[in-house]
Amino acid sequence: MEEAVSLCITCNEAQPRSVLSNVATTVVAVITAMTFSASGAAPTPLYHQYQESFGLTPFAITIIFAAYVLSLLAALLTVGSLSDYMGRRPAILAALILNVVSMANSS
């Protein structure tokens, strides 16, 4: 008796997931939240240093901050739906890795 082999890419079968313990999940969540919080606020202290180094006016600092906020908003709106396509876990992991790498390069 022959069995038919299906090459269905979008099958409805549930795939097994690895399960972390409650402690491991909590540690990963806390580290992730701390990393995202630290990187989100990282540019703000630099504005005063930029003002002193480059002789910028308060208006120029406001424009720099506005550009940062608008680029962050644009990134969230354009790349935010990527997690719907990839899945939440891979998207969060990729964002966390990029965040850590960018923070390591800037320090």
Mean pLDDT for the chain overall:
79
Asked whether residue 15 carries a pLDDT value surpassing 70, the answer given is no
Find all residues with CB under 8 Å of 39, minimum gap 6, and list them. Answer: 99, 102, 103
Strands annotated E in 13-94: none
Nearest to residue 106, comparing CAs of 59, 26, 49, 52?
Answer: 49
Q: What is the pLDDT of residues 35-84, one digit of tens each?
A: 778 777 777 778 888 889 999 999 998 898 899 889 888 888 888 788 88
Asked whether the whole model's pTM tops 0.75, one would answer: no
Calpha distance 51→32 (Å, rounded): 31
Q: Do residues 56 and 42 touch, judged by C-beta distance below 8 A?
A: no
Asked whether residue 8 carries a pLDDT value surpassing 60, the answer given is no
Q: Tell me, rounded to whole angstroms, the distance of Cα 28 from its chain centroid.
A: 14
